[in-house]
Amino acid sequence: MFSLFYGLWKYLFSKTEFHVLILGIDKAGKTTLLEKLKSVYSNLAGVPPDRIVPTVGLNIGQIGVSNTKFVFWDLGGQPGLRSIWEKYYEEAHAVIFVIDAACPSRFEDSKSALEKVLRHEDLQGAPLLILANKQDLSEALSAEELAEYLDLEKLDERVYMFEAASAFDGMGIKEGVEWLVEVMERSKRTETLRIRAGITGPN
Ligand SMILES: Nc1nc2c(ncn2[C@@H]2O[C@H](COP(=O)(O)OP(=O)(O)OP(=O)(O)O)[C@@H](O)[C@H]2O)c(=O)[nH]1
Ligand SMILES: [Mg+2]
């Protein structure tokens, strides 16, 4: 009986917590994005872009969006560090994949890194937000152009969205986060992770 009520209490009153992985190759702008997310949603000034160094370990950021708590995991994208990504897949509700839309010479590297992410079974059903970052630069490809260029396979059954963004001026960030809230709340994967965490529905 106690566990029934405890389960109901937990279900009703615990703030939904979503874990979102920020992935992408090195220099795509992941950490700059994380700092921008923190400053947009928490009124705290994030680390300024000129003080951000390449990520070797893990950066964690938390923000609250209405009744939802986001925990972002930002990992290093240098080739030798990408094997660490998969250690975080199982617990992730969704993925933000950041691409430097102003650097065509690195699109192939981004494409193969993203395809590898999509193939991994531990990320099955995880919604995917692909950010065409650095839109403040005039040479940046639009989200549509980047989608066409990447021509990703294995996207068919995935809930995904391409969004034009700039981690410098904040373009596209709120739209992306709002989209994530909406799709993660309805996602089967969220339900699976909830059950695994012991936060079950009232019946
Ligand atoms: N113009 C412009 N530059 C950006 C933007 N976002 C990031 N940068 C720059 O791109 C470079 C790499 O940014 P980081 O945030 O360190 O990239 P990262 O993806 O975290 O890189 P790793 O940690 O090595 O994986 C830095 O010089 C940033 O200032 C953006 O939206 N516009
Ligand atoms: Mg980084």
pLDDT in tens, 115-174: 999 999 999 999 999 999 999 999 999 999 999 999 887 676 899 999 999 999 999 999
> Domain range holding 154?
1-202
SS3 content of the chain, % helix, strand, coil (to 5): 45, 20, 35
Confirm or reject: Cβ of 189 under 6 Å from ligand 1. Answer: no
186 CA distance to ligand 1 centroid (A)? 31
Q: What is the DSSP letter of 138?
A: T
CA-to-CA separations, 79 to 25, 84, 105, 109, 168, in angstroms, rounded: 8, 10, 16, 10, 24
Out of 14, 42, 62, 78, the active site residue is: 78
Is pLDDT at 67 greater than 70 in this prediction? yes
Q: How far apart are CA 20 and CA 60, in angstroms?
A: 10
Rg value, the chain, Cα: 17
What does the block give as tokens for 151? 């021509």
Tell which one of 37, 39, 52, 53 to mutate to probe ligand 1, the residue whose CB is within 8 A of the most ligand atoms.
52
Is pLDDT at 113 greater than 70 in this prediction? yes
Is residue 180 within 8 Å of residue 129, measured between CB atoms?
yes
198 CA distance to ligand 1 centroid (A)? 38
pTM over 0.90: yes
- What CATH number is attached to the domain comprising 115? 3.40.50.300
Task: Indicate the number of domains in the chain.
Answer: 1
Q: Give the amino acid at 186.
A: R
Indicate the burial class of 81 (C-beta count within 10 angstroms; 0-12, 13-18, 19 or more): middle
Q: How many CB atoms lie within 10 A of CB 170?
A: 15
Q: What percentage of the chain reaches a pLDDT higher than 90? A: 78
